[in-house]
Each structure stands twice: as structure tokens, then as C-alpha cells.
Chain A
């Protein structure tokens, strides 16, 4: 594993890509890593394309620029495939995971001949089955952890459970649903 793992998130404002990046930073931090989680800010509004980033490393991280050559890319909204060059700079030894009902063969034409790993996951279905609503960020978070292996499965689920119990202290009824969403997504791409 190389020293710093770099991940780029593509989503639309309001879908939680930034929150997912921060949750990933949190979970990795809890396993002892050095982390960065940050969004690229513009005039944000619901529905506009947004980018968020993670760096995860065993050593202190000094660079604060955006990530141009990520190891992994997460596409939270498949409609971005037509307007954003999501594979730009993507490490051919890495992978991309896309939230879509389409198959890998169906999305490949949008990926500029990307030769690394390509994964698809139906985060809407998982989210609606487990949470009753469409929050794609938990399934996508689980998918990228399963694919990138930035932490072990055990570490990830332990830290996420702690994190949800803290985050949803006043809404405990959604904790189980979120954990179920993570589990379904993780096992689907594992």
C-alpha cells in the first residue's frame, strides 16, 4: 500500500458527499491514521456538482491542495457521468465506484477508457430498503472502504457504529438503518 491514499468524491449539493468524506476521515482517524477531509467550495447550492476529498496516511499530511491524481473516485450521482470527467487523473491501479442501477458494462463508455477497477452499486435501493429514504452517502462510504481497504472491515463497522451513536444521539431510531445500509453496501462490493 502506498504511503498516502487519495480519494475524490463527486456528488451534487445536498447528497452528503462532503459529509461522507468527513465521516471517512473520522473513521480512519479513529484507527490511528493521519487524515484530511475537505470539500472544494464554490457557490454551493442544492443540486450543483461538488467535489470533496480525502487523504489518509500513516504519516503527517502537509499538502493542502486539491487532489488531481486520486487513487479512488466515488461518484455519488450518476447524472454527473455526462457532465464531469470523473476519471480525470485517476490512478489506473485504483478504482472508481458509481452509484447507479446500471451495470459495469453500461457505465464503461462514460469512463474515458479507464483501465482500473470499476464498480457499480445501487445506493438508492439500499438506502430506501434500510432507511426508507434516499441518503446515498452511507452506502457509498461503505463501498469505498470495501474497495480501497483503507481500514479493516471490523475497524470500519466498529468506528461507524460509535460515530452514528454519537451523531444520532437524539435520533437513535436511524442508527440501525444506517448500519444496515453500510452492511448491505459493503457486502455487495466486497
Chain B
């Protein structure tokens, strides 16, 4: 595959790993995590309605601004920081090569 980028994801045990991610399949970060069987539920299927794909963006890549729906959902989430995003709202594209993310903790 030609359209691949590398995304670094730190899981909830602090383990950091680089993942190859295709950019020509319309995938988002939540789907990428699920495809590598990272512990991301993606309960709502990507509608910005559950926050189970909450991540912290650690690199300074330029991301599209969060929508009102995403901000509203983050209002209902916990462990929210200024660099919080919902993985399902981050679409993988070539300019995100080298993106670094940390999975946010989940409330029990």
C-alpha cells in the first residue's frame, strides 16, 4: 500500500507503539485503534456520542477543529484536558504522519 502513515499510540499501561495506518480508506483514529485491537470500545460507532475513544493529542499536528457535537461530548467525559479529542473525529490523512496519541483513562 502506498498511502500509509505512522501513528504512535500510548496505551493505558503507558506502552508506546507505532502503528501503520492507511490514509486511503477513510479510517479515523477510533477505527485504527480497534483494528489493532487496542482497548478502545467505540461504543457509538463514531458519532461522537460516547467518548469511549477519548485520546490526548501529544504532537503538534494541525487537526480539524472539533465540531459542536464533539465539544458537547467532551463536556460529558472525564479526565478531559486541553489536548483532549475524540478519536472517531480524527480522520487519518497524509499530513498526520507521525501523529502521537495517548489513550485517555476510562472511568469504571
Task: Say whether A and B bind each other.
Answer: no
Question: Measuring CB to CB, which residues of chain A are less than 8 angstroms from any residue of chain B?
Answer: none
